[in-house]
A and B are shown apart, each in its own frame.
Chain A
Amino acid sequence: MYKWLKVKNPAIVPLKDIPVLTVPEMLEEVVDLIKNEGVRPLHFAGRKTHDNRKVTVTIVLADDVENSLLLSQVVFTADDCYDSLTPQAPIMHLFERELYEQAGIIPLGHPWPKGVRYEHDRVGDLGNFNEYPYLQSEGIRMHEVAVGPVHAGIIEPGSFRFLCYGEQVWHLEIQLGYQHRGVEGLFKTGSILNKSHLSESIAGDTVIGHAWAYAILAELLTDTEVTNRVQAIRAIALELERIAMHLVGLGGIAMDIGYLPGASVYGRLRTAVINTMLKICGSRFGRGLIRPGGVLFDIDTALNLEIVDVLDVLYRDIEKINELFFNMPSVLSRLEHTGTVSKETAKAIGLVGIMAKMSGLSVDSRISHPISIYANERLKPHVLDGGDVFARAKIRVLEIDQSMRLIRRWLGTEVKRNELYVKPGTVKSNHLAVSVVEGWRGEISHMVITGNQSSVLQYKVKDPSFNNWMGLALAVRDNGISDFPLCNKSFDLSYCGFDL
């Protein structure tokens, strides 16, 4: 029988209730659960004990069929090694590299034992950041192209190394870490209840997603209940964020293929949506809205009507531009069969969110691990099977439509004007809390472990970009190198959400 604690998202458990596996048990069961039960890893996080002699690894797995999270832990002696899970379960590849970087536990036989983000306080011996061990190639027609970290545009930094045969990309390696600001470390300093601003800055394009995932943890740790009204306002903001960023993606794709009507119309529609966010909370990105214990701003009747008006215009105008964009032969010839990721690949490397849904996988935590208000919605995920840039554009269109419906329904529901904010109490010691929120890119998960006197022993953030960067690297294989910008834009991943 498996030794796992089964909980529902979001969850809080006393540390003493989490089962402890032996290393061989863990290796066997994780592989078995991933291969045979189809579960996905959320966290595989190591922390050193006070005397630095041992490393406790907390494992959180997501079971999308049973709608549950599985918790367990395993204790290694410091600098220990084990047989890597990746050869049998490739989905673990980055989690194992991160464990090595953060806690120094060595995955023997890992096919790609490199640094993840070269953290400032890394434990694993990774060498210098500027001497990253890129895969190299030799041959008469083989050549390498280095791009970045400063890219041609207003975009975050990251290094791309292409191995090309003529113009064809055979392999792309992405080196990240330039954006590392020590976010997880900062969560451990001072009170865990004062980290709203930090959570809003994990990825500035996913303010609501990360702030909500954090607020849930702070509320669980303090036994704070928030009202339905608060849940509704948070959910409306989350879906507005999804619409706005999907419009950025569509505009960006249109711009990258030189289809300017698309770029300007999607751009204009997005402005209206983020200005609506500003009307709600004073920030175009939703900063200042979500705090542990509630929200700081209400949506009153007048604002309610204004939001409906914006959605009406959006609904009317987006249909027209979609009609044009997705039927123009010159557009389709650039989008279709470009940068394809197969369903098998997507599943093997564990893509999440829109990048899973565009390649035929139904992964959406609003459906499989719903929080609050989403549990009452009978949402159906939109799933496409193309796996190409076209599918990545189309999935955004479908999701915008879905989000508009959700917001309209929540705005239309008569709700009691009950409390918007309650001050959280004392933080529970020696507990673990975990939350999953479906941001616009996909599954966001935060985990916190507290020690004595409400101190924070570990704070772990998993942005969907952590899962999906590998998808981009594989998508461009066998494509012309000139299609890279289009592929990159269609993935639209976060650098700082990954680098933390």
Chain B
Amino acid sequence: MHDLINVRINQGFQSIKDIKKALPFPRHRGLPVVSEEPCKSECSACVDSCPTGAITLEPVSIDMKKCLFCPECELACPSKKIHFTNNVQISATNPETLIISAKNNKPIIEVDKKIRHIFRRSLKLRSVSAGGCNGCELELNALSNVNFDIGRFGIDFVASPRHADGVVLTGPVSENMAYAFEETIRAIPEPKILILAGACALSGGLFVDSPAINRHLLSTMKVDLYIPGCPVHPLTVANALLAYLGR
């Protein structure tokens, strides 16, 4: 018994106190910043280095739906035009604002009054992994651990879609999982929300051109919240959900 109490005392209070102000260590690659610096002429090093074609030129912009937040473009650019910061406010309700350039440098989450009214104090989510590599899944799990402790905000991941208010989709939607994804969405009572988490879910990521992927159904659905990352960082998800609920 003493040992147990000792371990408990030693464990202390592990939860991040102010999750809205918390930042990951500086080396974390979060919100990219595109500087106003002019590019060297005829240079396309950033575009060439990007594994998912997330970068376009004139003006230089990064589509965070596709971005894997890898170090490649930052290292490739001779003009230091692209730089990743550890800012985790990278999610949006409007996907257009996820395309980051020197001008558009802030993704926007708009609060839906109805959603806010119903789910503000209690949001129960069902996770569906459809080809997710277990990176985003582990990070969504981490949301409920002692450090991030998302349960304190009334946000929980539940077992049954019947108990859920929405789905968090991870993975590019594999053909073999498309039907089960559809069935799970259908099993959730209205009103329901659809949240996409991670580059695979947002754009197909590395797998967008694979014939084993089927994003047809997803392309016809209304998406309520886009959370970029590869994988999504728990602080990114927590802040996205809180902002979306207007908290």
Contacts and interface: CB of A to CB of B under 8 A. Distances in A.
A161 to B, nearest CB: 15
A359 B95 CA distance: 50
Contacts of B129: 154-157, 179
Interface string B85-125: 00000000000000000000000000000000000000000
Interface string A307-328: 0000000000100110110000
A159 B177 CA distance: 11
Interface in A456-494: 494
A484 to B, nearest CB: 15
B75 A296 contact: yes
Nearest to B50: A197
A160 to B, nearest CB: 14
Interface stretch (A4-12, A85-93, A95-103, A265-273): A265-273
Nearest to B127: A154
A284 B236 CA distance: 13
Contact of A321 (B7, B174, B210, B233): B7
Interface stretch (B25-33, B38-46, B216-224): B25-33
A201 B159 CA distance: 26
B189 interface: no
Contacts of B71: 281-282, 288, 296-297
Contact of A180 (B157, B176, B206, B230): B176
Interface in B115-141: 126-141
Contacts of A53: none
Contact of B10 (A119, A280, A320): A320
Contact of B212 (A180, A197, A287): A180
B7 A320 contact: yes
B191 interface: no
Interface in A169-225: 177-182, 185-186, 189, 194, 196-198, 201-205, 207
A267 B147 CA distance: 8
Contacts of A182: 207, 210-213
Contact of A153 (B14, B24, B159, B200): B159
A154 B137 contact: yes
A283 B68 CA distance: 11
Contact of A150 (B51, B140, B180): B180
Interface in B172-212: 172, 174-177, 179-180, 184, 200, 205-207, 209-212
B11 A197 contact: no
Given A154-B127, A321-B7, A203 B210 contact: no
B118 to A, nearest CB: 23
A154 B157 contact: yes
Contacts of B75: 296
Nearest to A272: B147
Given A157-B177, A178-B177, A203-B133, A185 B3 contact: no
Contact of B210 (A186, A283, A496): A186
Contacts of B4: 261, 324
B174 A178 contact: yes
Contact of A279 (B25, B68, B84, B233): B25
Interface string B58-82: 0000000000111110010000000
Given A150-B128, A203-B133, 6 more contacts: A120-B210, A194-B51, A197-B51, A204-B132, A275-B24, A285-B138
Instruction: In the A-B complex, list the 7 residue pairs whose CB atoms are closest, starting with the nearest.
Output: A204-B135, A204-B133, A152-B159, A182-B212, A120-B212, A182-B210, A154-B127
Interface of A: 118-121, 129-130, 149-150, 152-157, 177-182, 185-186, 189, 194, 196-198, 201-205, 207, 248, 261, 264-265, 267-268, 271, 275, 278-285, 287-288, 296-297, 317, 320-321, 323-324, 494-496, 499
Interface of B: 3-4, 6-8, 10-11, 14, 24-25, 27-29, 51-52, 68-72, 75, 84, 126-142, 145-147, 157, 159-161, 171-172, 174-177, 179-180, 184, 200, 205-207, 209-213, 230-231, 233
